[in-house]
Amino acid sequence: MNGAPDGSIVRRDAPRPDLLAFEIKDRITKPDIAWMSSLVDEAMRMHGTIDMLLVMSNYEGSDLGARFDGYATGVMARSVAHIRNYVVVGAPAFARAMITLSGTVLPVETRTFDLSDEAAAWAFLAEAGPAKG
């Protein structure tokens, strides 16, 4: 399956198996976040360390149930030890500030790019190379 159940998140093709790329196209629902979390969880188990790219092409927020999904929250908490680079393209200003702040206190490299700079985000991850080298 290349897309979440409600279709607001789509998995993008990535040039390496330890890089997960998703596009957020709409309002995130609980089934969407559970689907995405299961893919991230599986990749962390399979590869140990991963990189992640989110392209927020038309982000319209998230349902309350999506924000407080227990499984997704658990995956997010574990991801701190498994994500090397967390790159977000097109994040709204409030999200960009949170991503930048979390990068200063967590052992995860965080980067944000404008939607028009998606190619630069992919280039940054290509230059970083495999998450586990």
Flag the least confident range among 7-16, 37-46, 64-73, 84-93.
64-73
**The CATH homologous superfamily of the domain defined by 9-117:** STAS domain (3.30.750.24)
The pTM for the full model equals 0.85
Q: Higher-confidence residue: 84 or 108?
A: 84
Task: Give 53-100 pLDDT, tens digit per residue.
Answer: 999 988 776 766 666 666 666 777 677 789 999 999 998 887 777 777
Looking at residue 45, the DSSP 8-state letter turns out to be H
Span 110-129, average pLDDT:
95
Domain locations along the chain: 9-117
